[in-house]
Amino acid sequence: MADKLIFEVLVEVDNQAVSFLKSSFGEVVMIPFTGTVRGELFSGKVLPGGVDTQTVNQNGVRHMSARYILDVTDKDGESCRVYIENNGWFETQSMPFKTIPTFMTDSKKLAPYLHSNNFRGEGHFEAGGLVIKMFEIML
């Protein structure tokens, strides 16, 4: 059974605000972003303050941790917010890259579903931009 696409985040990076650090121990890049979200559960926007922090250790393993809050309207027209922490580890980053998201929301209706931790993510480059696709894992 194929996993079910539940929403997509169309990422908008602020290239002027990207921060880098490189040392003999490894490297870090912090990528601030906003964007829009669309899907069957809700639609809306990524609030300012979202950041994708990527570290590369001495062995060349990259850890990506993106943290951001969505301001959305659910399919019934109710406003809510959804916090996402999306993590991935890569030795070589291929496309689509795979991630493990966790969610927190103030929506009483969506909380039982989103707090179940039964999800996976994929990063795709489409039409010149990054799109993060979130899937429910169908067991």
Query: How many residues can be counted in the chain?
Result: 139
Rounded Cα gap, residues 7 and 74, in angstroms? 11
pTM over 0.75: yes
> What's 86-132 look like in SS3?
EEEEECCCCCCEEEEEEEEECCCCCHHHHCCCCEEEEEEEECCEEEE
Task: Please list the ranges in the chain whose pLDDT falls under 50.
Answer: none
pLDDT at residue number 93: 66
**Segment 12-33, tens digit of pLDDT:** 998 999 999 999 889 999 999 9
